[in-house]
Amino acid sequence: MSQSDRVVIFDTTLRDGEQCPGATMTFEDKLATAVMLDEMGVDIIEAGFPIASEGDFEAVSAIARQCKRATVAGLARAIEGDIVRAGQAVRHARQPRIHTFVSTSPIHLAHQMRKTEDEVLAIITRTVAQARDLVADVEWSAMDATRTPVDYLCRCVDAAIKAGATTINLPDTVGYALPDEYRAMFREVRERVPNADKAVFSVHCHNDLGLAVANSIAGLEGGARQIECTINGIGERAGNAALEEVVMALKTRQDSLPYTTGVDATWLTRASKQVSAVTAFPVQFNKAIVGRNAFAHESGIHQDGMLKNASTYEIMTPESVGVSKTSLVMGKHSGRHAFKEKLKELGYELGDNALQDAFKRFKDLADKKRHVYDEDLVALVDEEIGQGHDRIKLQALTVIAGTLAQTATLTLDVDGVHHTRQGVGNGPVDAIFGTIRAIVPHEAELDLFQIHAVTGGSDAQAEVSIRLKHDNRSATARGADPDTLVACARAYVAALNKLTGRQKASVEIEA
């Protein structure tokens, strides 16, 4: 395979993905995610929008210093101050990039930019040249390219390349294009712009019509060699092209798509889980590649085929995306040894004490549930690991709910000392959270509260995601339990542990 068939993977989870409402990440979350993306072989990490806030600038700067292999990009509007700030943020990267953009479509020029075509052309020339003076690697994007007349789009691309752009991105900003249209646009622009061979062309597709991945692949067929995407497809509105789907489409359909990437596909499931955890955005069960049901078979016909030959119904192996293939079915009759082996298959190695504690919780869970799934075990063990060094631990909870006043009686172990309180609230959850605040006074606000079932069925474990916010700090945590109210308490306590762990001296426990 020639170098011309190598596809550059540009991950914008930390920038476009974070713009998804409710998906804001902490500094620590961003840095950990960037390290993971770097290790899994992503070529370019768009680390953020440095001008947006001081926190974003600091995160981009830290990521630029931390990444060992990937190019680190900072986004900038076609504004002098934005470009200066982006250059400052990425200057310590092994390979820094400034990614600047401006709108080109008539609807954007008329209603958002309020500029003429010639004025925008002058802006492109000036700002791309400014960025090129700061770094050798400059990407320019034509925002809303797919609704821009191709004649004007060619003039803009020509101007950007002449000014020094090394990558040209023609995004489907509003998810409007169809694959044939997107493919044809790239072919025409590359044929008509005289210096098109001096830049790498890039796709950036949104999923408003569910066509982001299909359009991204069509762009490759039109001559693009960079795909901009996000883990789990998170992003503005309906999201972006999903990195895991792009990578596996190219890997699985080599017969029709003779392209290669540098991404190690065995990291995909791990990456999906990490991004889901830090954003508190659950992955839908039937999500391609990384969803819970991606390698699950319930139909008798499918099961029969799988037992005879896995390729009858699976076009890729679970191992190829980092999923351990397993045949162990866990239930209340399972022993400690089987439990330990099952955890190994799921990627967990626990010490004797932690294993014993997790096994006891598993037995309790198995007594309450008809089926214990892998996801149940992952939720159970993740919580067990997370509680290992917590200074605040949930010991007991009793809730009275109904038409009368909702009351919670709660016992917390705080630094080894038990504290019991009773409180009332506007509903059982409010009573629980209020009672926790009575034992551990704090000023943090509840910024996120989500509940979903870990598996199907009326006996499913509830998994609760909580984000607490105080000043400029926030902490996100999850709790799981067959009892939804207990899961709420576990999640709140876990988030409080994270938050107060950064400010122990200012937290006083009431007797």
In a domain, 298, yes or no: no
Regarding whether 255 and 120 lie in a shared domain, the answer is: yes
* pLDDT tens digits along 464-499: 989 898 887 777 888 888 889 999 999 999 889 888
pLDDT of residue 99: 98
Regarding whether 356 and 240 lie in a shared domain, the answer is: no
In a domain, 318, yes or no: no
- Percent of the chain topping pLDDT 70: 88
Provide the pLDDT confidence category of residue 117 given band limits of 50, 70 and 90. Answer: very high
Regarding whether 475 and 358 lie in a shared domain, the answer is: no
Find the domain containing 111 and state its range: 3-279
Provide the pLDDT confidence category of residue 386 given band limits of 50, 70 and 90. Answer: low
Regarding whether 202 and 267 lie in a shared domain, the answer is: yes
Residue 369 has pLDDT above 90, yes or no: no
Within 13 Å and on the Cβ side, how many CA atoms surround 288?
A: 15
Regarding whether 446 and 338 lie in a shared domain, the answer is: no
Q: Which of 219, 251, 279 is the last residue of a domain?
A: 279
Q: What is the pTM of this model?
A: 0.71
Regarding whether 261 and 333 lie in a shared domain, the answer is: no
Ranked by mean pLDDT, the top range of 48-57, 207-216, 294-303 is 207-216
Regarding whether 233 and 122 lie in a shared domain, the answer is: yes
Regarding whether 374 and 403 lie in a shared domain, the answer is: no
* pLDDT tens digits along 148-187: 999 999 999 999 999 999 999 999 999 999 999 999 999 9
Q: Between residues 108 and 506, which one has the greater pLDDT?
A: 108
pLDDT of residue 324: 66
Secondary structure class of 412 (helix, strand, coil): strand
- Whole-angstrom Cα distance, residue 424 to residue 427? 8
CATH of the domain at 456: 3.30.160.270
> Which residue in this structure is represented by tokens 């309906």?
238
Q: Which of 386, 404, 432 is the last residue of a domain?
A: 386
Provide the pLDDT confidence category of residue 98 given band limits of 50, 70 and 90. Answer: very high
Q: How far apart are the first and last CA of the chain?
A: 69
Domain tally, the chain: 3
* Element counts in the chain: helices (H) and strands (E): 16, 14
Regarding whether 126 and 248 lie in a shared domain, the answer is: yes
Lowest mean per-residue pLDDT among 144-158, 227-241, 246-260, 323-337? 323-337
